[in-house]
Amino acid sequence: MLTRFLLTLKQHRFETIAITVLCVGLAVAGVIEALRLYALNTPVACLGNGGYGGYMSGPVMTIGNPQTGIDPCDLARQARYGLTGSIDFSLVGMLFLFAPFIAGITFGAPLVARELEQGTAPLSWSLAGSRRRWLLFRMLAMGGLLVVLLGAMAIASDVFFGTYSPTVDIHTSFENYLYRGVFDIFWGLAAFLGTVALGTIFGRTLPAVFIAVVICFFARVGWEPLMHREVLAPTGQVLVDLKTFDPQNGYFYDPANLVFSFRDVQGGKIITQEEAQAWYSAHQPTFDANGNMIGGPPDFANQPMQVPYGLPGSKYWPVVALESGILLVGSLFCGAVALFWVDRRRPY
C-alpha cells in the first residue's frame, strides 16, 4: 500500500511540489505577518471594542500630550493601519481565501484525466486489477497529503486572523470564520474530490479545471448567504439583553457575533416589520391647518426597537461542525461519483 501511495505522489510530483511550496510558504508567511502585527504592541485600550484591524467600534482611549499635542493612540493606530493595509499583509490574507481551492483543483484535475489523455489508463487498470481500487488508492494518497498541507495552513490562518482582534478569542468568534481554521481543510477537500469526479467524467484535464473553477466560485459566493438565511437563521437569537438594552446608545459592533439581520422587538418579544410599522403609524402626531400639534405628543415609551439577531460567539464550534459536516458529505458524494464512473468509462 505504501508503495502505491509513493508511486502516486511520484507520478504527480510537479503538483505535489507546487502545492507543498504554496501551502508551507503561505503558512510561514501568515505566521510572520501575525508576528509583525503582534510586535507593534498596540495597547488594547486603543483598539476599542474588538479592535478589528485597528477599527474603532466602541469607546477608545484618548490621551493627548499637552506638550506635543500628539495622541499616542493615534500613532499606534496609524502604525497598525500601515501594516494591515500593506500589500504583503493583504496578499497573505487573500491567499488564505483562494489557496484551498487552488490546492484541491490542482491535485484533483490530473488524477484520472491525465491517465486518459496519455493513454496509460488501460495499463494502469490492468495492473491494479480493479479500477475502483486503483482510483481509491490514488485519492487516498493525494487527499491525505492535501489534508496535511491544508492542516498546517489552517493553523497559520487562525494565527494570522487572530491578530486582527487581540481582545477576542479566535475560537469563540465568527470574525472571518469561513476564511480560516478547519474550513481551509474542508474547502480544499471538497474542491479536490469534486475535481476528481469532473476529471473522471470528462476525461480531460483542462475542461475539468475550468468547470471546477466555475463551480467553486459560485459555491463559495453562495455558501454564506444560503447557510445564514436557510440553515442557521432559524436557530438564531437576539444578541442583546432586552432588559438592559438602551436603544438611545445603539448597538456596538461585536466581532465575535454572527449577525444575520436586525429584528423589531417590543415588550421583550420579537414582532414583525408590519407590526412595527403599524405601531408607528398609530402613534404619529396630528397637526391642524396651521401646523400646530393637536393634543400632546405621542407616548413612545413602549416603541419597537431594532436589535441584532444572529448567533453569539459561544456557538462557534457547533456552527463550524455543522458547516464542515455539510462540506464533508458533499466531498464524499463527489468521491463516490468518481469511483462509480471510473468503471463506466471507456479507456480514452
Residue 145 to residue 54: CA distance in whole angstroms: 37
How large is the average pLDDT for residues 57-84?
64
Is residue 183 predicted with pLDDT exceeding 50? yes
The full DSSP string for 26-64 is: HHHHHHHHHHHHHHT---GGGTTTT-GGG---S------
| DSSP label at residue 170 | G
pLDDT attached to residue 248 = 63
Q: Which of 177, 196, 111, 190 is nearest to 150 (CA)?
A: 190
Is residue 135 predicted with pLDDT exceeding 90? yes
Is 276:194 a contact under the CB 8 Å cutoff? no
Give the DSSP H/E element, type plus range, for residue 259. strand 258-266
Confidence of residue 1 (pLDDT cuts 50, 70, 90): low
Q: Which residue do the cell numbers 462509480 mark?
A: 340
State how far Cα 44 lies from the chain centre.
25
Residue 348 to residue 341: CA distance in whole angstroms: 14
Is 7:115 a contact under the CB 8 Å cutoff? no
Grid coordinates representing 115 are 491517465
How large is the average pLDDT for residues 199-226?
95
Is 2:137 a contact under the CB 8 Å cutoff? no
Is residue 198 predicted with pLDDT exceeding 60? yes
CB atoms closer than 10 angstroms to residue 313: 21
* Pairwise pLDDT comparison (175 vs 59), residue with the higher score: 175
